[in-house]
Structure 1
Amino acid sequence: MVNSGVLLAAVAGLAGVALLSLRIGSVSLSTTEVITAFTNFEGTNAHLIVRSLRLPRTIIGIGVGAALAVAGVTAQAVTRNALASPGVLGINSGAAFGVVTAVFVLGIASPSDYLWFAFAGALGAVIVVFAIASVGPGGVTPVKLALAGVVLTALLSAWISFVLIFDQRTLDEVRFWLAGSLAGRDLGVFLQVLPFLAIGLVIGLAMGRTLNAVSLGEDVAAGLGQNVALVRAVATVVVVLLAGAGVAAAGPIGFVGLAVPHMARLMVGADHRWLLPVSAVAGPTLLLAADVIGRVIARPSEIQVGIVTAIIGGPVLIHLVRSRKLAEL
């Protein structure tokens, strides 16, 4: 009952932040104007702002936030590493590498073309990380996975920086996307990634019991009847689908997949049957809140949401690690 109440409260919080996302911007609107934009559309400036600009932005924020948060929970469970996330494991950097390389080499110029290259980069990053982590005695371990992800992220980031420094066209094309933003994103691009995002969320949310077993360790999970290799493979596919879709839709946004699972654990504990759905709601709440903050503090301009999540997520994660033993997270 307690966890049910937490989930309902999280949903209510998301609804409140979504309303703020529809109301707040360079032009502030009333709640009545937002509601009538849907119930009695008259084509006024306020109604056009809500339906043409802020609604797509809010929808994309909800989808991307849920994807990154569930990907983070899944990555942390399957690697048994409290600091694992799509960013730490190199998946976000892999997706960014795929897009930047495609723009540089192939000259693609439409965000709608980013999707497949983001997925290819994310999948390639996962393969390389697992290949590196499998070298040496003991095979793949949580620590080796994290270290391999950090190494790969550094290498891919170096390549991205090299391209952006020496190719002005690529820099002009992707610099806004690389900052991680919900502003100016096209719903058409989001609809392209939506099937992959939906599949990843459905499978991820259904893995609660399985992730509970795997997070106890491979031997215990095998003793409970779990096929650890299969679970790890399915979880990897889920993380790639969710992270790839999120990066393709909004660019690489950090800290959501890392910080949100820890916040959710403080609310519902380590039971993944509750941790996954609460994270799926808390993720978009954090992302939309960061987006609203970015609109407010730099009016009439705004700060990209990827920058705000880094500013918010860093101190929050430090506080969580300092206030509780890392092993308990």
Structure 2
Amino acid sequence: MGHKAPSNKKNKPFLTKNGKAWVILIGGFLLLLLSIIVSISMGEGKTSVTTILNSFFHYNEDNIVHQYIKEIRLPRALAGVFVGIFLAISGAIMQGMTRNPLADPSIMGVMGGSELAIAVVFAFFHGTSYLFLLFASFIGAGISAMIVFSIGSWTKGGLTPVKLALAGTAIGTMFSALSTTIAIRFNVARDLSFWYAGGVVGTKWSSIPFILVVAVIGILIALFISKKINVLSMGEDVALGLGINVFWTKLLGSVTVVLLTGASVSIAGMIGFIGLIIPHITRFIVGSNYRLIIPCSGILGGLLLIFSDMLSRVINPPYETPVGAITSLIGVPFFLYLARREGRGL
């Protein structure tokens, strides 16, 4: 009798990379919906799921609980989801374009630029509209990004990952110091305290239309350039050899990062490390294809931030712990691990 050839079935993964991506996208989206319900139910005077659903489908203007859900808790939950999506996608784009595993809007100084711009608005443009504040945040993020990339490019040896992180940290720290100086000098420290701490508490419905517009524009551009980022992540020489317009790809990617990060800071303040952590986790699950990394990072980023927001309410009730502190506690050890691993690139 002949012997059967050894089977390779044991070596085949249960799910392909595409299959895992679909699990994240579909399962993560459903989990996001559930998380929004749970987030709304939390806080002082816990609300039942039945009451929440009634407020959605049978809203009663005379019901105080319905009003509270609609005007306070629902905008907060939605803002948490979108800010997490924005920061995670920004981090994925930055890491792909720069080939820098340490890239993140908070580490690269982009958030510091937004923070400084908001401080200037509070100090010199009292009673300004939210749209103007959003625009100023975009401008600050853009200027900061240009300075960081310029400093990193001018140094000897070129733009290595660790040099880019060091330049971003230095510029971000300088901008934060300037923001603090302006806040003290012009007596706007109380107004800026929310942005320093980071969080989505106090988000109003007036912010949601701008969040949706930024989400549509930013996510569509990110998906559009995702295939080009795949090539760019292999190196500029390879990208040029394959006919990729490196300048326009980087420009579109930078505009997307500035747009998403600027909106995030104007809504939730300084929330760091989501853009660092989530793309790494996503790459571990779905591989190195940015057509999968970008949308999956968005879903996982939204989940991380809304869970962090919920955790902020249960650590020290009835007080709330800043969400930025929670994400930093998670992100700093992760950053130190990556910095040590990439330190040979100096």
TM-score normalised to the size of structure 2?
0.86
Q: In the TM superposition, what whole-angstrom CA distance separates every residue of 1:22-60 from its partner, at most 9, and x where no partner exists?
A: 111112111111111112223433322221211111111
Spell out, residue by residue over 1:108-154, the C-alpha distance to the aligned partner (whole angstroms, 9 max, x if none).
56655421211111111112122222324555454443332122112
1:225 to 243, 246, 251: 243
Alignment partners' CA distance in 2, 1:317 and 1:26: 35
The aligned counterpart of 1:191 is: 209
Please, which of 35, 38, 44 is the counterpart of residue 53 of structure 2?
A: 35
Quickly say closer, same or farther: Cα 1:226–1:143, change in 2 above 3 A. Answer: farther
Consecutive unaligned residues of structure 1, counting only runs of 5 or more, are: none
What's the counterpart of residue 133 of structure 1? 152
Alignment-derived partner of residue 311 in structure 1: 329
Task: Return the letter of the residue paired with 1:94.
Answer: G
* Structure 2 Cα separation of the partners of residues 314 and 143 of structure 1: 15
The answer to whether the 8 A contact 2:20-2:285 is kept is no
Q: What value does the CA root-mean-square deviation take over the aligned residues?
A: 2.3
The answer (yes or no) to whether the contact 2:282–2:297 under 8 Å persists in 1 is: yes
Query: Structure 1 pair 251/288, CA: closer, same or farther in 2 (3 Å)?
Result: same
Q: Matches of residues 258-277 of structure 1 in structure 2 within 5 Å?
A: 258-277=276-295
Distance 1:136 1:325, change over 3 A: closer
Change (3 A) 1:267 1:12: farther
Question: Offset of 1:92 from its aligned partner?
Answer: 0.4
Distance between the aligned counterparts of 2:210 and 2:296, measured in 1?
26
1:85 corresponds to which of 104, 110, 127: 104
CA contact (8 A) 2:231 2:238 kept: yes
Shift of 1:71: 0.4
Instruction: Choose 1 or 2 for highest CA Rg.
Output: 2
Cα deviation, 1:199-246, whole Å, max 9, x if unaligned, reads 111101222211111111111122222111221111111100110111
Q: 1:301, CA displacement in angstroms? A: 2.4
Contact in 2 for aligned 1:14/1:282 (Cα 8 Å): no
Write the letter of the residue equivalent to 1:2: K
| Shift in alpha-carbon separation, 1:317–1:26, aligned structure 2, 3 A | farther
Report the secondary structure of 2:188's partner residue: helix
AA aligned opposite 1:78: M
- CA distance in 2 between partners of 1:171 and 1:113 (Å): 19
**Map 1:1-329 → 2, pairs under 5 A:** 1-42=19-60, 43-108=62-127, 111-137=130-156, 139-167=158-186, 169-315=187-333, 321=338
Change (3 A) 1:304 1:110: farther
Q: What's the offset of the Cα at 1:263?
A: 1.9
Cα distance change on mapping 1:33 and 1:315 into 2, 3 Å: farther
- Give me the whole-angstrom Cα distance separating, in 2, the residues matched to 1:304 and 1:136: 36
Aligned length: 324
Scaled by the length of structure 1, what TM-score is found? Answer: 0.90
